[in-house]
Amino acid sequence: MVTEKVRSNRAGRGRPGARRRPVGMPKPRAPRRRHSPFEEEWEAFKDEVLSNIRASANSVRGAKIAPFHRTDSILKRMVYRFVIKYRYTNSYKYIEKAISDDRDSGRALRISFEENPFHWILFGLKDHVRILGKFEISKTDITRFSAQLLYADRHRIGEELLIGFLLQSGTLTEVCRKAKDPDCREDWYIAKIKAGEGSQP
């Protein structure tokens, strides 16, 4: 009969010698992917940033907010602190890989991690830190914010003084222009170096 022939053909499918899974038994789970070094820290940081940004974005609109507490300032301070925190630890070398593994796109960034780690951190946060209609990180933000942070880092600015330093150093456009010149420093910092009170990065 046709029915028996179909059953016979189906029974013959599969790899020779392979054991058939009994009916009703679920498929075995695929082995869990092992966490790469620093992956858990990176995920925790993304969630922390999103939580802080959401709290800021959901604050009362129209209220006068000091520059230090603005949503974009919170993002800058957290990214800046993150890089400073891990820079001289063994975990620092794993940050680049954690972000590369986390990205949806396989395209390589034009800026290397060594050249500007702030750019990488902001890029890694782009798709995660997004609040519909209230806040998102654009490509322009990544370019400009990372330049600001790089310029501040060049002056060894502490995280608590970051926003004040950026405001005193000029407009966003001016600071980005200064950051493009690797030899550019603020006058007060140059005087500090000459007086032997600081180290040249």
- CA–CA gap between residue 162 and residue 11 (Å, rounded): 70
Q: What is the pLDDT of residues 179-197, one digit of tens each?
A: 999 999 999 999 998 888 6
Supply the pTM of this predicted model: 0.77
How high is the mean pLDDT in each 10-residue block of the chain (201 residues)? Answer: 47 53 54 63 94 85 82 96 92 86 65 92 92 88 97 96 97 96 95 77 59
